[in-house]
């Protein structure tokens, strides 16, 4: 009996009752290895190789961290190549210039833009290989190229048929055509389909290889303690005590801390404990969450950069019938990838090879070159599967450390951070403060809008902007005639980085929270107000309306709050439905609508929403990194909590059918969750909440 | 010491206090069981000891002597366990790092309770998932239970 897969995804009714191809057959396996250089495998370009038996190797240039990019990019390649989906194998690309992301200037996976950036280039790569196969077949048959077509892995002419495998060598030897026609999207048979994740079975059997699973011959293990206070330096440590522990081979100072090397990870951990390292801290030890907040509040009085002025907001404020002045804030957040930080490095005089669950291959190479003094041609960067990335693995700090240790001990080294080290030595989502001064007219509509954001920056542009802080509140989708924005940089010693949805993780909360305040102040329904102000943004309107309709907004469904936000090329609206008993919050359901342009794989999209909502819920209720005496207080999952199975709501996802260029999907689900949640809480009778996490306001996320 | 892992008897030379997790991974090469937190808070390190789901990151290996240890690798030789088939059908894993532990907890649940309600699934599936695959885990556990009851 054929299995039918019913998905809770609707996009014009296309997907209900869809039978997944190849469901009863063994799924193609992903092995993160370099392309084989066997003579019988013909290489068409950096992305497509075909063996004499017709096995198609697709090289994907993006890291797989659960977002489904290996499958999605393979769908794009295989579509234009017209490959047999059951005969493909996907491999992760090694770091090479040809795999630099077309828009990002380096080989990396982030910004939810793998599909967006690679869509056209990979279509071209697949189409080019297909054209070469057709040309080779046509030549062999003496037939006109125009009279040949392809059918999932073979070239066809009248009753003749040649498998891609049979043609591969001859085809790949040709000069690739400079231009190739791409398929008409209406002819897509793979793109748009909810094909199963290619590496799913490996992830169900323990066969999937993550960074922490890498094993090399002669490998030793390293455990690390990083200086607790940011910027602190290694001081006393008992090297003899460490070396007295069974299995310990060496003690190696590394950038940021000290490593103990042993013949197993556990012995290295015991060695670290015996080492008992102490660190000397500088003035950073005076920093705390309180001093940072006080500093931000003080800096609110400064004039910032990244200025935007539309109309005359100050003048319009003076004339406003009603004025609102509110302060929003959000804390530092750590990524909490389930796989802790780790890297395996092997430094030899001739070359250095690393294996890491990384999102940022070029930066890893630069880190290795800095430690070893080797050139780029001597450095090999292998990327494994990632047990979560969320932007944390856009850093190469642990790669530097692994390379330093391997260089010192002259062996391959697998360096693993504990959960405590991972939590306390992150590159955090920056904390920030946001002041809104909003003027409403007599009819209750916002006409004057002044916004100042205060927060730390890793590096501002010439105009004083740092898009990883300001995007999402610096430009509004809403029509406001008099608008002013500026951004005040307020430095702290806390290392900051890119946390899933980056600036939007806080600006989404600020903007969509204050929009509801504006609605309430003006006596408007939150949906109606947004509809009115989004008249010039039909895609936003469509998404908002779809979410509201599917959630049953205004139909006595339950207590609901909504939010709409655009990020990384996609527009998302979410409606959170909850019930409140005292301070206990039950989140029953979250209804999501998204316009992400062309949807490559609707099942992966749905999964990113299901997961992104849970991710957002965790941040909203629990997410907070506290600084005490210059160090992070939180350490493990008991004090840096994650949403559990018992608390997790049902998530429904609705995709707006679109043929626009593809937008992102990994990050866009996160920003609307927190504001929709606090908006719903307000509706439930809770006070207006302008800072996160909710636990600081006494709220608990209750079991369902 | 002698250990019985996935039906095979093996001899290991390790400090008896070494957590079972690291013996399985580093000494014996069963790397499907994962290290998530080291404090028994997340469950990524879950295996069965005599059929009982056990978090191995803090369980000294000496406590596993004389018990049957089953890791994710031992659930089936080829991914054919109903849970693995259901997990694949529903498309549960995202990053996949926690899924070995999730499946081991589910396997123990279904052995004890072949027809769990949604509430029973919610209560038993205590492992953490950072990617938030909980909704699909629920569906897949129900689906596997269906398969195991022969309601295909």
Mean pLDDT of chain B: 97
Contact A337, A370 (CB under 8 A): no
* Cross-chain residue pair A204–B79, CB shorter than 8 Å: yes
Q: Report the percentage of chain A scoring pLDDT > 90.
A: 93
Report, as an integer, the average pLDDT of A24-39.
Answer: 44
**DSSP string of A529-557, one letter each residue:** HHHHHTTT-HHHHHHHHHHHHHHTTTTT-
How many angstroms separate the CA of residue B29 from the nearest CA in chain A?
A: 9
**Smallest CA–CA distance from A603 into chain B, residue:** B91
Residue A378 DSSP symbol: G
The closest CB to that of A336, out of B72, B75, B130, belongs to: B130
* Cα(A344)–Cα(A356) distance, integer angstroms: 6
Give the residue among A277, A272, A281, A276 at the shortest CA–CA distance from A249: A272
For residue A68, CA distances in Å to A99, A114, A388 come to 18, 10, 12
For testing the chain A interface, which of B19, B57, B76, B91 should be mutated: the one with the most A CBs within 10 Å? B91
Diameter of chain A measured on Cα atoms: 81
* Cross-chain residue pair A610–B133, CB shorter than 8 Å: yes
How many angstroms separate the CA of residue A487 from the nearest CA in chain B?
A: 32
Residue B151 CB coordination number (10 Å): 9
Q: How many CA atoms lie within 13 A of A639 on its CB side?
A: 11
> Which residue in the block uniquely carries the two structure tokens 């850093």?
A395
* Cross-chain residue pair A338–B36, CB shorter than 8 Å: yes
* Cross-chain residue pair B96–A199, CB shorter than 8 Å: yes
Give the residue among A94, A597, A70 at the shortest CA–CA distance from A354: A94
pLDDT bin (cut points 50, 70, 90) of residue A331 is: very high
* Cross-chain residue pair B71–A5, CB shorter than 8 Å: no
Pull the structure tokens for residue B142: 């129900």
For testing the chain B interface, which of A70, A216, A338 should be mutated: the one with the most B CBs within 10 Å? A338
> Which residue in the block uniquely carries the two structure tokens 């690679």?
A118
* Cross-chain residue pair B94–A265, CB shorter than 8 Å: no
* Whether residue A17 has pLDDT greater than 60: no
The pair phi, psi for residue B118, each rounded to 5°, is -60, -40
Q: How many CA atoms lie within 13 A of A14 on its CB side?
A: 16
pLDDT in tens, A230-283: 999 999 999 999 999 999 999 999 999 999 999 999 999 999 999 999 999 999
Residues 6 or more apart whose Cβ sits within 8 Å of residue A67: A112, A114, A604, A608, A665, A666, B94
**Smallest CA–CA distance from A640 into chain B, residue:** B41
Contact A392, B95 (CB under 8 A): no
* Whether residue A498 has pLDDT greater than 90: yes
Residue A249 confidence (pLDDT): 98
pLDDT in tens, A338-374: 999 999 999 999 999 999 999 999 999 999 999 999 9
Q: Where are the alpha helices (DSSP H) in A104-208?
A: 114-141, 164-173, 200-205
The whole model's pTM is what? 0.95
The closest CB to that of B131, out of A199, A388, A703, belongs to: A388
- Angle in degrees, CA A297, A301, A305, rounded to 5: 105
Report, as an integer, the average pLDDT of B32-47.
Answer: 98
What residues of chain A lie within 8 A of the CB of B138, using their CB? 645
* Cross-chain residue pair A212–B35, CB shorter than 8 Å: yes
Residue A390 confidence (pLDDT): 98
Report, as an integer, the average pLDDT of A511-536.
Answer: 98
For residue A138, CA distances in Å to A82, A143, A656 come to 17, 5, 41
CB-based burial, A499-513: b 16+ in 10 Å, e otherwise: bbbbbbbbbbbbbbb
The closest CB to that of B95, out of A206, A387, A610, belongs to: A387
* Cross-chain residue pair B96–A202, CB shorter than 8 Å: yes
Residue A1 confidence (pLDDT): 35
Cβ of residue A65 closer than 8 Å to a chain B Cβ: yes
Cβ of residue B117 closer than 8 Å to a chain A Cβ: no
Helix (H, G, I), strand (E, B) or coil at A198: coil
Report, as an integer, the average pLDDT of B6-23.
Answer: 97
Mean pLDDT of chain A: 94
Pick the residue with more confidence: A35 or A176?
A: A176
Cβ of residue A67 closer than 8 Å to a chain B Cβ: yes
- Angle in degrees, CA A195, A199, A203, rounded to 5: 125
* Cα(A614)–Cα(B133) distance, integer angstroms: 9
Report, as an integer, the average pLDDT of A307-330.
Answer: 97
Cβ of residue A667 closer than 8 Å to a chain B Cβ: no
Helix (H, G, I), strand (E, B) or coil at A1: coil
pLDDT bin (cut points 50, 70, 90) of residue A556 is: confident
* Whether residue A24 has pLDDT greater than 80: no
Report, as an integer, the average pLDDT of A79-107.
Answer: 97
> Which residue in the block uniquely carries the two structure tokens 């995804």?
A9
Tell me which residues of chain B, numbers 58 to 97, contact chain A at a CB-CB cutoff of 8 Å.
Answer: 71-73, 75-76, 78-79, 83-84, 87-89, 91-97
* Whether residue A394 has pLDDT greater than 50: yes
Kind plus residue range of the DSSP H or E element containing A240 = helix A239-243
Describe chain B by its helix, strand, coil percentages, rounded to 5.
Answer: 40, 15, 45
**Smallest CA–CA distance from A208 into chain B, residue:** B32
What residues of chain B lie within 8 A of the CB of A204, using their CB? 79, 83-84, 87-88, 92-93, 96, 99, 103
How many angstroms separate the CA of residue B131 from the nearest CA in chain A?
A: 5
Residue A39 confidence (pLDDT): 52
* Cross-chain residue pair A648–B134, CB shorter than 8 Å: yes
For strand A650-655 and strand B8-11, is the pairing parallel, antiparallel, or unpaired? unpaired
Tell me which residues of chain A, numbers 404 to 423, contact chain B at a CB-CB cutoff of 8 Å.
Answer: 416, 418-420
For testing the chain B interface, which of A205, A337, A606 should be mutated: the one with the most B CBs within 10 Å? A205
Cβ of residue A21 closer than 8 Å to a chain B Cβ: no
């Amino acid at each position: 009996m054929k299995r039918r897969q019913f998905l809770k995804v609707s996009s014009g009714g296309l997907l209900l009752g869809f039978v997944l191809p190849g469901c009863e057959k063994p799924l193609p396996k992903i092995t993160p290895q370099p392309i084989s250089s066997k003579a019988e495998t013909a290489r068409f370009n950096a992305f497509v190789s075909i063996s004499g038996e017709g096995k198609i190797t697709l090289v994907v240039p993006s890291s797989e961290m659960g977002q489904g990019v290996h499958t999605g990019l393979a769908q794009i390649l295989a579509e234009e190549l017209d490959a047999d989906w059951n005969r493909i194998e996907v491999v992760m690309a090694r770091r090479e210039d040809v795999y630099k992301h077309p828009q990002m200037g380096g080989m990396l996976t982030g910004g939810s833009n793998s599909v967006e950036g690679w869509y056209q280039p990979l279509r071209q790569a697949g189409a080019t290989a297909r054209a070469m196969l057709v040309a080779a077949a046509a030549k062999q048959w003496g037939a006109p190229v125009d009279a040949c077509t392809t059918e999932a892995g073979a070239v066809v002419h009248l009753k003749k048929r040649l498998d891609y495998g049979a043609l591969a060598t001859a085809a790949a030897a040709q000069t690739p055509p400079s231009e190739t026609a791409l398929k008409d999207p209406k002819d897509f048979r793979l793109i748009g389909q909810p094909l199963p994740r290619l590496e799913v079975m490996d992830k169900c059997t323990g066969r999937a290889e993550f960074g922490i699973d890498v094993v090399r011959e002669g490998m030793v293990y390293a455990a690390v303690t990083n200086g607790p206070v940011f910027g602190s330096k290694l001081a006393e440590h008992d090297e003899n005590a460490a070396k007295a522990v069974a299995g310990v081979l060496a003690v190696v100072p590394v950038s940021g801390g000290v490593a103990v090397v042993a013949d197993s990870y556990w012995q290295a951990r015991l060695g670290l404990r015996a080492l008992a390292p102490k660190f000397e801290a500088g003035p950073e030890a005076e920093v705390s969450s309180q001093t940072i907040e006080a500093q931000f509040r003080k800096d609110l009085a400064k004039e910032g950069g990244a200025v935007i002025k539309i109309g005359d907001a100050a003048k319009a404020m003076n004339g406003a019938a009603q004025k609102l002045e509110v302060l929003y804030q959000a804390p530092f957040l750590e990524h909490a990838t389930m796989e802790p930080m780790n890297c395996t490095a092997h430094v030899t005089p001739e070359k250095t090879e690393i294996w890491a669950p990384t999102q940022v291959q070029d930066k890893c190479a630069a880190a290795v070159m800095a430690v070893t003094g080797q050139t780029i041609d001597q450095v090999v960067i292998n990327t494994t599967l990632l047990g979560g990335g969320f932007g944390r693995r856009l850093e190469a700090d642990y790669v530097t450390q692994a390379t330093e240790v391997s260089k010192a001990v002259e062996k391959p080294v697998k360096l693993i951070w504990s959960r405590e080290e991972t939590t306390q030595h992150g590159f955090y989502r920056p904390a920030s403060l946001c002041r809104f001064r909003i003027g409403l007219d007599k009819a209750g509509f916002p006409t004057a809008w002044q916004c100042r954001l205060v927060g730390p920056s890793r590096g501002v542009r010439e105009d004083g902007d740092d898009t990883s802080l300001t995007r999402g509140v610096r430009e509004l989708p809403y029509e406001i005639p008099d608008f002013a924005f500026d951004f005040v940089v307020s430095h702290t010693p806390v290392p900051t980085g890119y946390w899933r949805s980056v600036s939007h993780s806080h600006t989404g909360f600020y903007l969509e929270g204050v929009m509801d305040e504006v609605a309430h102040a003006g006596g408007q329904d939150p949906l109606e107000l947004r509809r009115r102000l989004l008249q010039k943004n039909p895609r936003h309107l469509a998404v908002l309306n779809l979410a509201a309709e599917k959630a049953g907004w205004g139909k006595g469904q339950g207590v609901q709050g909504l939010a709409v936000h655009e990020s990384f090329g996609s527009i998302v609206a979410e409606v959170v439905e909850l019930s409140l008993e005292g301070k206990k919050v039950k989140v029953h359901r979250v209804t999501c609508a998204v316009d992400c342009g062309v949807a490559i794989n609707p099942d992966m999209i749905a999964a990113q929403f299901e997961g992104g909502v849970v991710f957002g819920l965790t941040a909203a209720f629990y997410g907070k990194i506290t600084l005490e005496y210059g160090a992070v207080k939180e350490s493990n999952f008991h004090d840096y909590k994650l949403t559990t199975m018992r608390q997790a709501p049902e998530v429904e996802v609705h995709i707006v059918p679109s043929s626009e260029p593809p937008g992102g999907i990994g990050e866009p689900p996160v920003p609307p969750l927190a504001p929709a949640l606090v908006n719903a809480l307000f509706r439930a009778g809770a006070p207006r909440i302008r800072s996160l996490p909710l636990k600081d306001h006494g709220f608990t996320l209750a079991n369902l | 010491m002698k250990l019985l892992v996935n039906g095979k008897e093996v001899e290991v030379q390790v400090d008896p206090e070494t957590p079972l997790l690291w013996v399985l991974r580093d000494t014996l090469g069963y790397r499907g069981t994962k290290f998530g937190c080291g404090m028994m808070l997340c469950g990524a390190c879950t295996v069965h000891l005599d059929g009982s789901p056990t978090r191995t990151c803090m369980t000294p290996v000496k406590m596993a002597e004389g018990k049957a240890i089953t890791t994710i690798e031992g659930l089936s030789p080829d991914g054919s366990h109903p849970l693995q088939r259901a997990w694949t059908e529903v498309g549960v894993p995202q990053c996949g790092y926690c899924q070995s532990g999730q499946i081991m907890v589910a396997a123990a649940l279904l052995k004890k309770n072949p027809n769990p309600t949604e509430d029973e699934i919610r209560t038993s599936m205590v492992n953490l998932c950072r990617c938030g695959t909980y909704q699909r885990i629920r569906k897949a556990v129900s689906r596997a239970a269906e398969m195991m009851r022969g309601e295909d």
